[in-house]
């Protein structure tokens, strides 16, 4: 009987696939069909209980391994792994070559038990670092829910990343006017007049 695997990737949702005769085995580490028999039991790509999806759908960094990531689909977590000498980028949502040590994202949870910590390469992600008990630590990875929000230490807040106008996801009549003040980005929260709504593609109230 053919094993059912899940093809996963950083840009596509998991989908079941029947392994072909020349690759009849399911690789439990990479969730791919393989010609090599697995050395550990295969779970068909589903990581049962080892990772908590804090949003039903989305891509999340692995809590401790920067060459891996989790793809959450309908609340189920699927483990993905980059190729050798690659790391997962939380900025481009894809695997990329590791050129610098800082390319490897981390939460540094082992140094900060009992605290919230931002992901080092993209603070749209953050984690709750549990207490270390018997050498083990529970790490729950979260992501700011709205666009252009980033974790600032205690909560997710809007931040400017460029000089432009950003729509307010909570109210279509409002927008954020981002500009530079010296070397930093600042913003003003503005409202469209005359009952108009803000249109981000045209950068105007219509």
Return the closest-CA partner of residue 54 out of 68, 72, 66, 41. 72
Summarize pLDDT for 2-53 with one digit per residue, the tens.
334 544 444 444 444 556 667 766 665 555 667 776 554 443 333 334 788 9
Summarize pLDDT for 77-104 with one digit per residue, the tens.
889 999 989 999 888 778 999 999 999 9
Summarize pLDDT for 115-159 with one digit per residue, the tens.
999 999 999 999 999 988 888 888 999 999 888 899 998 899 999
pLDDT averaged over the chain?
82
CB atoms within 10 A of CB 136: 8
What pLDDT does residue 18 have? 56
C-alpha to C-alpha distance for 108 and 196, rounded to whole angstroms: 45
Region of 35 please: left (phi>0), alpha (psi -120 to 50) or beta.
Answer: alpha
C-alpha to C-alpha distance for 50 and 169, rounded to whole angstroms: 32
């Amino acid at each position: 009987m053919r094993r059912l695997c899940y093809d996963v990737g950083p840009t596509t949702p998991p989908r079941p696939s029947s392994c072909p005769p020349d690759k009849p085995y399911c690789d439990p580490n990479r969730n791919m069909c393989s010609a090599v028999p697995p050395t550990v039991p295969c779970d068909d790509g589903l990581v049962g209980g080892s990772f908590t999806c804090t949003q039903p759908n989305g891509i999340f960094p692995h809590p401790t391994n920067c060459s891996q990531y989790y793809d959450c689909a309908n609340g189920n977590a699927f483990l993905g792994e980059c190729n050798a000498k690659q790391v997962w980028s939380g900025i481009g949502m894809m695997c990329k070559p590791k050129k610098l040590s800082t390319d490897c994202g981390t939460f540094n949870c082992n140094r900060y038990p009992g605290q919230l910590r931002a992901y080092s390469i993209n603070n749209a992600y953050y984690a709750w670092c549990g207490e270390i008990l018997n050498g083990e630590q529970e790490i729950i990875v979260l992501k700011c829910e709205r666009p252009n929000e980033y974790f600032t230490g205690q909560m997710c807040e809007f931040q400017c990343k460029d000089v432009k106008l950003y729509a307010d996801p909570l109210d279509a009549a409002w927008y954020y006017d981002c500009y530079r003040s010296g070397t930093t980005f600042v913003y003003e929260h503005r409202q469209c007049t005359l009952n108009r709504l803000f249109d981000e593609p045209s950068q105007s109230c219509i």
